[in-house]
Amino acid sequence: MTVKWGEVTIGELVAAIGGRQVSGSPDEAAQGLCTDSRTMVPGHLFLALEGERYDGHDFLDEALRARAGGFIVEEGKPLEGGLGDKNLAVITVSSTLAALGDMASWWRKRWGGTVIAITGSNGKSTTKEMAAAMLSLKAKTMKSPGNFNNLIGLPLSILSLEPDHELAVLEMGMNAVGEIARLTQIAEPDIGVITNVASAHLEGLGDLKGVAAAKGELLRGMSPQALAILNGDDELTRGLASTFKGRTVTFGLGKENRVRAEGIRIAEASTQSFDIIINGERIPATIYLPGVHNVLNALAGAAVAWCASLPSELIARGLGGFRPLKGRFQILELKGKIRLIDDTYNANPASLGAALQAIERMREKGQDLVVGLGEMLELGADTSRYHYDAGKEIANRGARFLAVLGKHGHEVMEGAWKEGMDPGKTVHASDHSEMIEAIKANVREGDLVFLKGSRRVGLDKVVEGIKEALGMSKEQGNAV
């Protein structure tokens, strides 16, 4: 049995979420669901979510004016204005967030297709996109958009599934213990992927063992009939295999992995070619992203495709057709033969180290490196040390100029000075505009400019400012 908006009744949704219908007809068709009154689609239900900075219950009148077809609200919240209309469907629940997850869980069960869930400290978005690029060559595939990887975004992704979708590729993120467990309960993955375990979200998880345990919630929540795909080169990830009762497949560079790579070679500054070895079969592949970490992302995606019975030629074609996402090591060509690497989507010590290693391999002889680093957030008690070490690594990679942003920027500069970087070539910017001006004043023709920081620091604004200040080249390479 499949499920489709317009064919589902209000009464069915009430039963799925354990709600109470206080008005409207249970036989009325539910046309869709919205959680933002600004993007309200006439006739759709408005689900009022309460967050840290907003409460959807404060926007009921706006949703009503936008012709919402009904409302799902929390018990005890005041219902204002037109919500007293007995013909309008109003459903009350104890928690709208829990109701959203329960609705998505019910929808997933009714849909009945194959779900692939991907988590990990780094690389999950790129792996998701690569896997979807391959799988979509065989079957209609839904992938979670953008960063729809939390307790709101993942259910909304599932609720966008249509009857003719055969596959769903979902990203799972987390900031605290229990989040991956709940997401797994909602999604019921048939294939679960853990890309790696690294120093991220330590503020809420304590240490790397805490991160591993949180990521391992995916395996502990999956059915024994499901399949787990794990990074066999990563000790902490590999160690999670014992927590899963079903079949596991490992990927990595080591020869003991079922899916591995051989003969990695740089075809161009931003392109790598290699052979994927799966059960002895050799698949020539090319990806338009530098760095060994992206080879591992490709291997994880290829493992998903292989486990979904995709033929080797489609694995190669899907990877070859993939292009990097905005903000994830996206290479932009600027005037003056300047290359800007936009890696501003997020940052932690492991992803910074992997990016710097990739840059080291792609830098042309004599090409200088200019770095703009935003603060790395949620690193817990060792935040200062991580930033100090980041500065040391940036200096050791031969950066000519370093601009930093955030309250831990000084530790980054101290680390760089410790490794011999000229203090006169470092700037602690007070805001985005100052960082843009500092980089603009110190960049030279032919330089490689690298920008990275945690998402909330907003270095994407610096990317846009530098593009505007320096101008884009007509030759954009792999920019998207």
Answer yes or no: is pLDDT of 448 > 80: yes
2: confidence class by pLDDT, cuts 50, 70, 90: low
Tell me the per-residue pLDDT of 256-298, one tens digit each, with 9 for 90 and over: 999 999 999 987 767 899 999 998 899 999 999 988 999 999 9
Bridge-based pairing state of the strands 369-374 and 448-452: parallel
Answer yes or no: is pLDDT of 475 > 60: no
Answer yes or no: is pLDDT of 163 > 80: yes
Mean pLDDT of 111-140: 96
Tell me the per-residue pLDDT of 315-353, one tens digit each, with 9 for 90 and over: 999 999 999 888 989 999 999 999 999 999 999 999 999
477: confidence class by pLDDT, cuts 50, 70, 90: very low
Tell me the per-residue pLDDT of 51-65, one tens digit each, with 9 for 90 and over: 888 899 999 999 999
Please, what is the average pLDDT of the chain?
A: 93
CA angle 442, 422, 427 (to 5 degrees): 50
Tell me the per-residue pLDDT of 203-220, one tens digit each, with 9 for 90 and over: 666 678 888 888 999 999
Q: What percent of the chain has pLDDT over 90?
A: 82
Kindly state the tokens that stand for 41.
Answer: 């689609």
Domains and CATH numbers, the chain: 8-100 (3.40.1390.10), 113-321 (3.40.1190.10), 330-470 (3.90.190.20)
Kindly state the tokens that stand for 132.
Answer: 């979807």
Kindly state the tokens that stand for 60.
Answer: 């009921």
What lies within 8 Å, CB to CB, of 8 at 6+ separation is: 29, 30
pTM as predicted: 0.87
CA distances from 57 to 35, 73, 341, 439, 449 (A): 10, 7, 41, 44, 45
Answer yes or no: is pLDDT of 433 > 50: yes
Distance, in Å, from the CA atom of 76 to the CA atom of 454, rounded to the nearest integer, reads: 38
Mean pLDDT of 223-236: 96
Rounded to 5 degrees, φ, ψ at 376 are -100, 120
**pLDDT value at residue 269:** 66
Mean pLDDT of 30-47: 95
362: confidence class by pLDDT, cuts 50, 70, 90: confident
Answer yes or no: is pLDDT of 81 > 60: no
